[in-house]
Amino acid sequence: MIPLCVPNLKGNEMLYVQECIETEWVSSAGKYVNQFEEKTAEFTGSKFAIAVSNGTSALHISLMLSGVRAGDEVIVPALTFIAPINVVRYLFAEPVFMDCDEFYNIDTNKTIEFIKNETTFRDGTTFNNLTGKRITALMPVHVFGNAVDIEPLIDICKERNIKVVEDATESLGTFYNSGNLKNRHTGTIADFGALSYNGNKVITTGGGGMILTNNEEYAKKAKYLTTQAKDDEVRYVHGEVGYNYRLTNIQAALGVAQMEQLEGFLKIKKHNYNYYKEQINQIEGLFIPETPKYADNNNWMIAMQIDSKLYGKDREELMAYLGENKIQTRPVWHLNQLQKPFAHNQTYKIEKAFELAENTLNIPCSTNLTKEEMDCVINTLKK
């Protein structure tokens, strides 16, 4: 089987993890946790980076520190993995679903239109005209590594006192290459950014995540909340309800070894994307879309679009056929406003997300992928 997206652990991973075991520093303190945070801050340009147990916990704490409270609302994309939507409910708040643009990301124009036309700004707070609830945060997701057209969103959210949490879990390595945000990495633009090191991400720690912020107060509070909110570490005095969300030294050891290889992985990802695009776009009915021109992309996941009439098979048929030929693929996530827990939440003009959810298939994109394997995928698609 050619897998969809699997880890690549051929650097110093074994050496560093072995050191954790030999020194018995295996738990939630140790030099690798600090090193991993430092390396991540340096690479992304974020002032602060706080290592946590996974991307979901990074989003949970970021949203909490954004001031989202029970009964509030958070604007989120319809098309994305469900984790950023679930964390809204962890805080007893409700998601409002937005459509996506051609890059699978939250539609900036429609989101601005929604905020301008469907909400009211009163006494420093934005209220949803339909529900009367406070809208306290917006959570754009840089889907598949494609940078969100984020600057206009940041601007309107500033005007409307809405905090922004960037879900950059899929986009480590993506940075803007033009305009005011030139050279700024995804996850470092808004109030908070979240990274994930789940097994399918550009780099992995098995499971892990990172909170990014440029605000020192937020950073201190994030570290405090993710380490059980200890006011006195010796006497175990806790000033707030805390969380056990800290990354372990073993996981961070993997992370440090993976960071050493990140630039190389990004080169491979880009090369594979370009090769697939060149080859697959010659096949009638199949299409690898462009990535946003305003950013340098990490090309985390390859999204292939199918025109089923031209190609002669629809997405489901093609997925089954590739599976029979030992090629693992995945459809885009079931849209979030259709998921059972969120089926009654508000949606705004969702159109494009339906189209992309129906015609997109993710194809193998691991950094381990050989040319022979890519050719096997391409030739099977041709057949």
Ligand X SMILES: Cc1ncc(COP(=O)(O)O)c(C=O)c1O
Candidate residues 167, 204, 277, 296; the one interacting with ligand X per rule CB under 6 A: 167
Residue with tokens 């679930």: 86
> Per DSSP, what are the bridge partners of residue 76?
97
At closest approach, how far in Å is the CB of 308 from ligand X? 26
Q: Nearest distance from residue 14's CB to ligand X, in Å?
A: 23
Encoded amino acid at 185, one letter: H
Nearest to residue 106, comparing CAs of 138, 137, 82, 135? 138
Q: By CB under 6 A, how many residues form the interface with ligand X?
A: 14
Q: How far, in Å, CA of 108 to CA of 106, rounded?
A: 6
Measured at the CA of 96, the angle between CA 114 and CA 338, to 5 degrees, comes to 125
Q: Three-class SS of residue 198?
A: coil
Per CB under 6 A, does 55 bind ligand X? yes
Q: Does 345 bind ligand X (CB under 6 A)?
A: no
- Stretch of residues binding ligand X (CB under 6 A), selected from 166-174, 247-255, 299-307, 373-381: 166-174
| 170 near ligand X, judged by CB under 6 A | yes
Instruction: Tell me whether residue 148 or residue 304 sits nearer to ligand X (CB atom).
Output: 148
Q: How far is the CB of 83 from ligand X (least distance, A)?
A: 3
Candidates 65, 76, 139, 141; binder of ligand X (CB under 6 A) is 141
Angle at 248 between CA 16 and CA 199, to 5 degrees: 75
Residue 231 CB, nearest approach to ligand X (Å):
28
Among 191, 228, 222, 224, smallest CA distance to 209 is for 222
What is the sign of the dihedral through the CA atoms of 57, 63, 64 and 68? Answer: negative
Using a 10 angstrom Cβ sphere, with 0-12 exposed, 13-18 middle and 19 or more buried, the burial of residue 104 is buried
User: Which residue in this structure is represented by tokens 């409700």?
Assistant: 94
Whole-number Å distance between alpha carbons of 141 and 321? 31
Encoded one letter per residue, x for contact with ligand X by CB under 6 A and - for no contact, window 80-119 reads xx-xx-----------------------------------
Q: Which of residues 35, 44, 54, 251 is near ligand X by CB under 6 A?
A: 54
268 in helix, strand or coil?
helix
d(CA 362, CA 144): 10
Give the binding range for ligand X (CB under 6 A) out of 31-39, 60-68, 167-175, 266-274.
Answer: 167-175
Note whether 196 binds ligand X by CB under 6 A.
yes
Nearer to ligand X, 203 or 288 (CB): 203
The residue among 62 and 346 lying less far from ligand X, judged by its C-beta, is 62
CB of 66 vs ligand X, minimal distance in Å = 16
Token pair for 283: 């096949």
Query: In angstroms, rounded to a whole number, what is the distance separating the alpha carbons of residues 196 and 144?
Result: 13
In angstroms, what is the minimal distance from the CB of 107 to ligand X? 16
Q: Would you say 203 or 280 has its CB closer to ligand X?
A: 203
Of 247 and 378, which has the nearer Cβ to ligand X?
Answer: 247
- Minimum Å gap between C-beta 239 and ligand X is 27
Binding residues for ligand X (CB under 6 A): 54-56, 80-81, 83-84, 141, 167, 169-170, 196, 198, 209
